[in-house]
Amino acid sequence: MTDTPDITPEDRAPEQVPAVSRRRLLGAVGAGAAVAGAALGAGGAVLATRDGNSGSPGSGAAEPDAGAATVAFHDSHQAGIATPSQDRLCFATFDVTPTASKADIADLLKTWTAAAVAMTRGEPVPGDVGDVNTPPDDTGEAVGLTPGRLTITLGYGPGLFDDRFGLAKRRPSALKTLPRLPGENLDPAVTGGDLCVQACADDPQVAFHAIRNLRRLGFGTVVPRWMELGFGRTSSTSPQQATPRNLMGFKDGTRNIDATDTAMMGQHVWIGEEEPQRWIRGGSYLVSRKIKMRMEQWDRDRLGDQQDVFGRFKGSGAPLTGSKETDTPDFSARSDTGYVIPARAHIRLAAHENNKGLRILRRGYSYTDGIDPQTGDLLGGLFFIAFMKSPDQFITLQRVLGAHDSLNEYIQHIGSGLFVTPPGLSAGQDWGGQLFG
């Protein structure tokens, strides 16, 4: 688990903060920063931090003056992709309402930008302060909490680029509905969406607060389609992070892309010069998959079978041909009964060596849906999130895994989404202006 330093506000009287109107909230983005509001902590203190860009370009690095508590919003790439994975996730998708116009969407995205800048700094959503006759502009459940390295990452689904808003001519070339893939039985209730927002933080309440407030600001323009709460990250994106375990008890993401490797990220994750749409270069494609695990069935399987399914030892995480987690698997090694790492083992089929060098950046989380009321079985699994230069990377991998992976006996893909995440913003820019040009 990532350690997050505590930031305790000084015990002092509240400062006098001028009221900020909704119109000024929009203007704050054009000024290059969200207007600071008051966040009254347990001792009546004001939480305030500074938004900076002290990390290297595209690093999503934590700002040194706030320790590991805040992640800069403004950067060449959106935070929440190369950023070291936080411990919790709140992921939501939205559909544009039938009555919304192009101007409505542009205004909403400008408002969302200002709100995201503020919330990632640990500040409340800007707005009118202290007016007892109107609803508060911030829902308040994050008051007194540290920012928890909150990142807010925005993505656009294929449906947004139809003829409704004049965006067809700006559609990224690979942004299309994913084809039907083996191993899936998709539920429309957890599939698709015009927009997605990924909020990651080390505190689940901070992540939920971000989605809740963006949803509130979107009233009348967008409606929620589905939402997923994630716990226990299932991938490491930095060599400084220990490899986590999934709900099957195995270390997950051992051979994930190192997001600090700029050459690797440029080759496999960031959209580049190959994309005709200049405005999306520096962004990435996001694939989400809700993967249900048949946990009771898995828990009754013997250890040897479990290890053959993954191709790794459950305890150490080492490949069956090695002794340490980071040992390179030897896919040619044989025993008297065949390959040491079985032909249908997950790590064999997913390995870049066996897929013409193809790689993706995984950034998923575990989830639970409680208990099946009919069987009493636990409902849960993996909320898979991956970033890539082209959706073809995922499609190619899933066609192999969905058809041949031994893991398919214990899992099923039940939800899906494809979104394109635009590049990062500089101070003074906003998502609406970036989208519509």
Is residue 310 situated within a structural domain?
yes
**Same-domain check for residues 37 and 87:** yes
Q: For 28-78, what is each residue's pLDDT tens digit? A: 444 444 333 333 333 333 233 333 333 333 444 443 333 348 999 999 999
**Same-domain check for residues 239 and 212:** no
Rounded (10°) CA dihedral 244, 250, 254, 259 = -40
Q: pLDDT class for 292, splitting at 50, 70, 90?
A: very high
Give the side-chain half-sphere CA count within 13 A for 406. Answer: 17
Specify the pLDDT at position 28. 45
Q: For 238-273, what is each residue's pLDDT tens digit? A: 888 999 999 999 999 999 999 999 999 999 999 999
| Residue 170, φ and ψ in degrees, nearest 5 | -110, 10
Specify the pLDDT at position 236. 85
Specify the pLDDT at position 106. 98
Which residue has better confidence, 55 or 391?
391
**Same-domain check for residues 331 and 411:** yes
**Same-domain check for residues 363 and 311:** yes
Residue 151's domain comprises: 18-129+138-160+191-231
With CA atoms as reference, report the closest residue to 369 among 240, 227, 271, 162. 227
Mean pLDDT, residues 197-210 taken together? 98
Report the distance separating Cα 1 and Cα 245, nearest Å: 11
Using the 3D structure, point to which of 203, 231, 259 is the last residue of a domain.
231
Tally of domains within the chain: 2
Which residue has better confidence, 359 or 7?
359
**Same-domain check for residues 331 and 293:** yes
Specify the pLDDT at position 407. 98
Specify the pLDDT at position 55. 38
Specify the pLDDT at position 24. 39
Is residue 180 situated within a structural domain?
no
Mark 151-164 as b/e (b = at least 16 C-beta within 10 Å). Answer: bbbbbbbbebbeeb
**Same-domain check for residues 63 and 202:** yes
**Same-domain check for residues 341 and 206:** no
Which residues fall within 8 angstroms of residue 263, CB to CB, at 6 or more apart?
none
**Same-domain check for residues 227 and 239:** no
**Same-domain check for residues 348 and 216:** no
Share of the chain above pLDDT 90, in %: 80
Report the distance separating Cα 234 and Cα 244, nearest Å: 6
Q: pLDDT class for 183, splitting at 50, 70, 90?
A: very high
- Lowest mean pLDDT across 193-197, 234-238, 293-297, 301-305: 234-238
- What is the DSSP secondary-structure string of 250-316? SB--TT---TT-HHHHHHHTS--TT-S-GGGTT-EEEEEEEEEE-HHHHHTS-HHHHHHHHTB-TTT
Mean pLDDT, residues 96-104 taken together? 98
Specify the pLDDT at position 235. 86
For the chain, the average pLDDT equals 87
Question: pTM here?
Answer: 0.85
**Same-domain check for residues 199 and 315:** no
Mean pLDDT, residues 302-325 taken together? 98
pLDDT at 21 > cutoff 70: no
Which residue has better confidence, 42 or 214?
214
Specify the pLDDT at position 29. 46
